[in-house]
Amino acid sequence: MSATGKRLVTVVESTVLAQNTSVHVVKVGDRYYLIGGGSAGVTHIADVPSDAVDPYIETQRKALGEQRDAVLRLLQRFRK
């Protein structure tokens, strides 16, 4: 990890297309790439514009925050 706590390389999203075949959106620095992986190796498919990925990431962060808040509220009920 860097001194700021951010990772240089991050897998943003992955999905399996078939047995031993998947695609990944990978962030390297401030750029995004669509990468294919399979038994034959790894292939760069395309560069992905950040304006296509950043809204998705923000939506996921918001959803995780809401889930965290719901779990904390539930735990508060049991602590009383």
Which pTM does this prediction carry? 0.71
What single letter denotes the amino acid at residue 51?
Answer: D
Cα–Cα distance for residue pair 78/80, rounded to 1 Å? 6
Q: Domain of 72?
A: 49-80
- 12: exposed, middle or buried (Cβ count in 10 Å: 0-12, 13-18, 19+): middle
58 and 40 in one domain? no
Is 37 found in the same domain as 1? yes
* Residue tagged 């950043």 (tokens): 54
| Model confidence pLDDT, tens digit, residues 29-56 | 999 999 999 999 999 999 999 999 989 8
pLDDT digits (tens, 9 = 90+) for 4-30: 457 899 999 999 999 999 999 999 999
* 54 in the same domain as 25: no
In the chain, how many domains are there?
A: 2
